Amino acid sequence: MNKVILIRYNEIYLKGGNKKYFTKLLFNNIKHALKEFNCTVENIQTRLLVRNFEDEDEIINAIRCVFGVHSISKAVELDNDVDTISSYVRDIKINSTFKCDVNRADKSFPIKSNDFAADLGEMVLNANPNARVDIHNPDCIIHVDIRENGKTYVFYDITYAYSGLPLGENRDGLLLLSGGIDSPVAGFCMAKRGLRQDFLHFDSFPYTSPQAKQKVIDLAHTIKKFVGARYMYVCSMTKLQEEFHVNCRTDYAINLLRRSMIRVANILCEKYKYKTIVTGESLGQVASQTIESLTTTNAVAKYPVMRPLISFNKEEIITIAKDINTYETSILPYEDCCTVFLPRDPVIKPKIRDAEREEKKINLDELIAFVIDNIEVIDLDA
Ligand code: ATP
Ligand code: MG
């Protein structure tokens, strides 16, 4: 009898001809998530198994962060043999209400699921005078999963993970990561659909502090395990923002900054082969996130801009931020480059034409080139 950790996945089932590809991705991502642990991972058709481990709770926590995983259980592995399973289940000590739940994937197993569940339930009742069956709301469910590999897995607890799709092999997304609450959550949401991402952060040193930058680096490290990031690019917008401030309409300051952020992102996408830009914008959250503002920003984007939080309320975003452990860091009170030179009367319905007219007042190409030349690349694995 072996102790194992049983991993179930769900959406991959729907992938038809691509199922093999997605299962392989998931398998590799789980192996990567467990690289610090002493254990082995095995693919047994529609389930994955971890064997030869010690720190089972830590391992389960690490697996929970891998997208594509539906749920995880500590289980014992038995042979698909009526007597073996029966004698194991008969010895389980139960002092509460319970039920047996049998899943017979191995159709050559001689007893049908419901019949075997009833047989096992009776054995448990006979062996435990305080046990009672409750089909609808039991304190304990004895799960018996009879698989096609000739093995049966018996378990009680199920830890649910995030489901979704496994992260792809390539880092296709570039997440605009600020120190706020929203953008780490946006990265998490896109990663849940399989988008592996790196990070791009803008600061305005010395108007923003080194602590503000460190906070974003900390956030990057916190969400790295979810989004599969390797690099964080840090760009200084100081010179650009000063030029906007002195020469351009102040009510357009945020729009002009956002358009510049996207221009920088365009160049990095081209250079490092990212296919899409991700932001934490949410419709109507602030003046810079009205449809007109987003349209003005989109007008300079050369790659699709994904905004997974577009329909989220702040409370919904905060709930996720707390769950993924970014909230406490995000609310540390350091300045962001967007809050530096913040106009008192930001335009709510900016026009592309006006933004372009403002940009002509400075040497934008040169200033963007300066930002790119002075980029700092942080290797998050170092
Ligand atoms: P968050 O930055 O997390 O959204 P916020 O709501 O305070 O918090 P916004 O002003 O709403 O920030 O910014 C909208 C989006 O623009 C962010 O989600 C992020 O994707 C991008 N962004 C803003 N500031 C920066 C920055 N300094 N560096 C990189 N991206 C930024
Ligand atoms: Mg926001």
Q: What are phi and psi of 174, to 5 degrees?
A: -120, 110
Is ligand 1 within 6 A of the CB of residue 173? no
Structure tokens at 289: 């996130």
> Per CATH, the architecture of 171-379 is what?
3-Layer(aba) Sandwich (3.40)
As a 3-state breakdown, the chain gives helix, strand, coil percent values, each rounded to 5, of 40, 20, 35
* Chain position carrying tokens 């300066």: 370
Query: Hey, where are the domains in the chain?
Result: 2-160, 171-379
CATH assignment, 2-160:
3.30.2130.30
Query: Which of 301, 289, 308 shows the shortest CA–CA distance to 227?
Result: 308
pLDDT digits (tens, 9 = 90+) for 144-193: 999 999 999 999 999 999 999 999 999 999 999 999 999 999 999 999 99
Number of the ligand 1 atom closest to the C-alpha atom of 203: 27
Position 60, amino acid: I
Is the CB of 332 within 6 Å of ligand 1? no
User: How many Cβ atoms are within 10 Å of 150's Cβ, its own excluded?
Assistant: 13
Q: Is the CB of 201 under 6 A from ligand 1?
A: yes
Ligand 1 atom nearest to CA at 186: 18
180 lines ligand 1 (CB under 6 A): yes
> Is the shortest distance between the CB of 178 and ligand 1 below 6 Å?
yes
Task: State whether the beta carbon of 237 lies less than 6 angstroms from ligand 1.
Answer: no
CA 312 to centroid of ligand 1, rounded, Å: 15
Residue pLDDT tens, the chain, 382 long: 899 999 999 988 777 888 899 999 999 999 999 999 999 999 998 899 999 999 999 999 999 999 999 999 999 999 999 999 999 999 999 999 999 999 999 999 999 999 999 999 999 999 999 999 999 999 999 999 999 999 999 999 999 999 999 999 999 999 999 999 999 999 999 999 999 999 999 999 999 999 999 999 999 999 999 999 999 999 999 999 999 999 999 999 999 999 999 999 999 999 999 999 999 999 988 888 999 999 999 999 999 999 999 999 999 999 999 999 999 999 999 888 777 788 888 999 999 999 999 999 999 999 999 999 999 999 999 9
* Range list of H helices, 97-152: 113-127
Atom of ligand 1 nearest to the CA of 175: 20
Question: What does pTM read for this prediction?
Answer: 0.94
Atom of ligand 1 nearest to the CA of 181: 3
